[in-house]
Structure 1
């Protein structure tokens, strides 16, 4: 499978943000859950944003993983319209859509990037089949969408670095611009950095290393999942109690 990074436009600008960074200065992408939070993060000066599926789900009144596709696409499109910086969207496992249909829906939202995960109901998806699906998605977008391939080995109870690397390499061959080994231990990041020839996305957990340290370990991109939404909710609870 052939990889291409030649697409002009917003996705190429977004790709450039991931590369050539100093180790202690990874790309930090806060996760807005609605248009108002997106504006706050954009006004704070962040160069791009990355929506978390769990935060968006909560804002719509759903449990994570149970948001109807139509509502997720509509919510993401509202966030894109609210800000002038690039937005990447966590679209979970693609909502069961064929790759070409998913690509068309993604392009309609205006996002410049997506997270697509290899975990499914009952465990991990077949890696080769998932890679083929990613390649079809990538081809259907014409390179106009930054593809962040989430590897769910550590989420799904398969904490094997060799399997994580194997899956990551398959997804890179399929056209992934970035690999996201969610919940992988930080000390695995140097191993992945040495084995995978694309930027790595690391999750910044509240009790884990700060972004600069994750960057020194090999991550080029830092995201927070639902952490920022949880913190905002706690702050709102305090305000409500004071009222």
Structure 2
């Protein structure tokens, strides 16, 4: 698929009667694994990428260049549409958000998210009018670029458990032209249902962030269009590695290998390299 076709495919996935899962890859290898399992589109994850390079997930700790370089590696290995985790747009100004959308489109992303979080613990959320201006600028940048813009209201993961304000923000982002709306950290299915009823654009819900145990069917019934997993697949992979390492360190055994994906299977998924003679 070319970039226009990928954009059209991603947009069409949001119109199904059942929510679709948009899993988050953190590098080229995880993207290939997810694609091999039949997912129809992918997203990136700043958290998963941060873990892989030994950093904390933070818009102040991760540069736009490195996030886009990571995303470009994911785009390069799959023919699936990819939506990028673009943090806060890598700058407080509307102009910074617009520039990030332009750069994201140039590397082949056909969608991406912009948050209303500031990264400042004393004032964690942008004031409403400024948050809307940022989304308006991102929408304008996305307009002629085959780019599906998701606007995120970060209240609940920034300690502001105000559902009414979250809905007001999502409604304002919808009015500003955002294609998809997203409020990570909603506490339960009823809150999710309330958000979906309050807006007319597709809603993304993230799973794996908390102990919330809704199924795809539950979320579809509540009105959700798209389900992402954030950094939780990356954390699950790290968890498996830590369990294996603890077994070896504490017990001197290697039974973890029984659950590992066979080398032959993963070799079938990964791209071939010029040097295929050595096997470790």
Q: Aligned ranges for residues 1-243 of structure 1 at < 5 Å?
A: 9-22=5-18, 26-65=19-58, 66-96=61-91, 98-120=96-118, 121=120, 122-143=123-144, 144-185=146-187, 186-205=189-208, 207-208=211-212, 209-240=214-245, 241=248, 242-243=253-254
Report the alpha carbon displacement of residue 145 of structure 1 after superposing the two structures with TM: 1.0
The alpha carbon displacement at 1:8 in A equals: 5.3
TM-score relative to the length of structure 1: 0.90
Query: Structure 2 length as normaliser, TM-score?
Result: 0.79
Gapped regions of structure 1 (runs ≥ 5):
1-6
Q: How far 1:111 sits from its partner (Å)?
A: 0.7
Q: Helix, strand or coil for the counterpart of 2:157? A: coil
In structure 1, distance between residues paired with 2:226 and 2:117: 21
Q: Is 2:16–2:225's contact at 8 Å kept on the other side of the alignment? A: no
Alpha-carbon displacement from aligned partner over 1:29-74 (angstroms, at most 9, x marks no partner): 1111100000000011100011111001111221101212211110
Give, in whole Å, the separation in 2 of the partners of 1:80 and 1:90.
13
The answer to which of 83-92 and 214-223 deviates more is 214-223
Counterpart CA distance in 2 for 1:100 and 1:92 is 13
Larger radius of gyration: 2
Count the aligned residue pairs. 234
Q: CA RMSD in A?
A: 1.8
Quote the Cα distance in structure 1 between the aligned partners of 2:72 and 2:53: 14
Q: 1:87-111 deviations in whole A, cap 9, x for unaligned?
A: 1111110111623321221112211
